[in-house]
A and B are shown apart, each in its own frame.
Chain A
Amino acid sequence: MTASTLLAASGAVSGGEAVAFWILAPVALAGAIGMVAARNAMHSALWLVLTMLSLGVFYVLQAGPFIGMVQIIVYTGAIMMLFLFVLMLVGRESSDSLIEVLRGQRIAALGLGLGFAGLLGSAVYRATQGSAPVGLEQANAGGNVEGIARLLFTDYIFAFELTAALLITATIGGMVLAHIERRKEDKRDQVATMKARFRPGNYPGPKPGPGVFATSSSVATPARLPDGRLSDRSTPDILPLRELTAEETTLKGTEK
């Protein structure tokens, strides 16, 4: 690592780093394009994983092993995983349709995207041209991880703590909004269920099936109690009690 730090500090690009860059840069770019172009949302997410992995390796190459690993753990490991969760709940058959809603939108978006990329690329190129990076050696003097830790817990302690508080607040807010836990006394256990079943006024036996001794097998036809009365316990509450009239039950003459 020290060797790579020295190389990066002097602004030189080692052979291995150049090879890794020229292999991974097209991969990262392909991942980005694939993410936009993929029709299936899941494939799209996977292309994004590819890009993020390549970025992680780039950080490691740039003598920042800690940030590289954190990139892989946090982004590809955790956030992408949650993203995949959402995708799974959306369903695996959902693919984007290729119908263009606005005419010429795709061409315009492509042109604007290319233009923006060119603008940004040329700006970065002009800004960094001819200047050598300095200060990496001092920053990594006591080790990369130690350097980041020192900065986080001295100069940026308030920013760090505030970010942590914000994230915790967001997490707890999410939990409060999404989580429903019934209190222990509201939960009905088996004993309480049985007591409710045998409480006075409730008939503990099974309900009569609809249509017993009835003239029709429809669920709307109530069961007939042994004394001939109709039982409204046998039909769903939303259905009105309905007995077929004699006219309705007679043959309609359509059986031939």
Chain B
Amino acid sequence: MNPLAQTPSLTDFGHDPWWLVLGKIVFAFVVALLGTLLGVWFERRVVGRMAVRPGPNQLGPFGLLQTLADGLKMAFKEDILPKAADKVIYFIAPAISMICAVTMLSVIPFGPMVSIFGHQTPLQVTDVPVAVLVVLALSSMAVYGIVLAGWASGSTYPLLGGLRSAAQLISYEVSLGLSIVAVFMLAGSMSTSEIVAAQGSGTQVSLFGLDIPTPGWYALLLFPSFIVFFISIVGETNRPPFDLPEAESELVAGFMTEYSSLKFALIMLSEYVAMVAMSAFTVTLFLGGWHAPWPITLWSGANSGWWPLIWFFAKVILLVFVFVWLRGTLPRLRYDQLMRLGWKVLIPISLVWVVVLAGLRTIDDWDTQSRLYAIGIPAGIVLLAALFWPSRKPEPKPTLVEQVENRPPGSFPLPPMDLQVPPSPGTRRMVAEREPANAPAGQDSEEV
């Protein structure tokens, strides 16, 4: 079986009968809902295991039905509308979050071309030449859900949470977009299916005259971008350690403080769907999409038919595990630390990396010698600069005696430096009282 025939291209989209389109949409929706149901259970179990406790284990096998029970309970709770709330926006805000999160899944390629009832169709709801931008647009629209929820609640903590999240999401969107630029440069496309296809085969990278076959995954080829991207999506989905909008120690529950019942359920659902969707997005952009990892590719049928669904979801679950792992490990950042990380670390790294990558792409078709010059000269300059960069020597710290001697006259009096503090009489008495209680016992045991 030729694996290349299984790879969908943009022309394969838009020919499905209506029932197939409907089926795919329902599939993506079910993935979102099941992802939430299992995601919450998975998170609670894993965090429980990390905290050396069992986690939910009563309802159903391994406690799998706990989330379902919680969801049902939430639906039957009283729906409270604050008096100061802006009614319409208060209702719309959770829906905006939810719609944006679910729609992201519509451009994620779950698998290659498969045959469904005789129709050859890609396992993806739809694809457009700007599919990655669709996801970016949706994630920037999702901010509205949070900000409006905070604003419409009509009380202080939600408003502060909403403001925080707006600032945070805008900041992290910049580094998110910059790290994706590197993927565009290598894949030469903004369509998700073509980015996955571009990662299918390892490219030949010639460095210093050697043709080195590299794995096609952009997580390896574009490692700095991958790291920046992953940190950014953790910030973008408001997950710990960047969950400042809902920092419970300072803002009660942030923008969702006033929400209850089904509207609260919607907000929570949209958060988990966003986490699953962003994981799927990362898998698509950096981890080779539905392509099987290396040892499995030895089997020729690994990348055809329905099998890639397994590899895809395995990678997604792995990333969700990393999300949970971060939550179980890292404490929440302070707000200024968060902003400094976003603006002073992530964005400069992405910018420099994009420039370096553009340079590497430019010299790709030069001959070996000029390529050596092009890489060697800037690298040498950077090395020399690093070597001869004047390091700031810290002034030697004055010793304690010098500090004491340098104090101006009339300073607050200090006790003498060689002060011997006599043991307090109370301690001596206690020791004296305890001594005889042990002494005879020790003697006895020695004699026996």
Contacts and interface: CB of A to CB of B under 8 A. Distances in A.
A200 B409 contact: yes
A69 B107 CA distance: 14
Nearest to B88: A43
Contacts of A199: 408, 411
A56 to B, nearest CB: 8
A88 B166 CA distance: 11
A102 interface: no
Given A65-B129, A204-B412, A73 B166 contact: no
Interface stretch (A75-83, A109-117, A236-244): A75-83
Given A198-B411, A199-B411, A92 B130 contact: no
Nearest to A4: B14
Interface centre among B10, B159, B162, B412 (most CB of A within 10 A): B412
A31 B106 CA distance: 27
A72 B141 contact: yes
A54 interface: no
A77 B137 contact: yes
A87 B442 CA distance: 80
A200 to B, nearest CB: 4
A66 to B, nearest CB: 5
A92 B148 CA distance: 11
A81 B190 contact: no
B190 A145 contact: yes
A84 B149 CA distance: 13
A73 B137 contact: yes
B159 A88 contact: yes
A85 B163 contact: yes
Interface residues of B, number: 32
A77 B173 contact: yes
Contact of A42 (B129, B134, B151, B411): B151
A149 to B, nearest CB: 10
B137 A72 contact: yes
A65 B411 contact: no
A141 interface: no
Contacts of B133: 66, 69-70, 73
A198 B408 CA distance: 11
Interface of B: 10-11, 14, 86, 89, 128-130, 133-134, 136-137, 140-141, 143-144, 147-148, 151, 154, 159, 162-163, 166, 170, 173, 190, 408-412
Given A3-B14, A42-B151, 16 more contacts: A1-B10, A42-B86, A66-B129, A69-B136, A77-B141, A81-B147, A92-B154, A92-B159, A143-B129, A144-B129, A144-B130, A145-B129, A199-B408, A199-B411, A200-B410, A200-B412
20 contacts: A3-B14, A42-B151, A43-B89, A46-B148, A65-B130, A66-B130, A69-B130, A69-B133, A76-B141, A78-B173, A81-B147, A84-B147, A84-B166, A144-B130, A200-B408, A200-B409, A200-B410, A200-B411, A200-B412, A204-B412
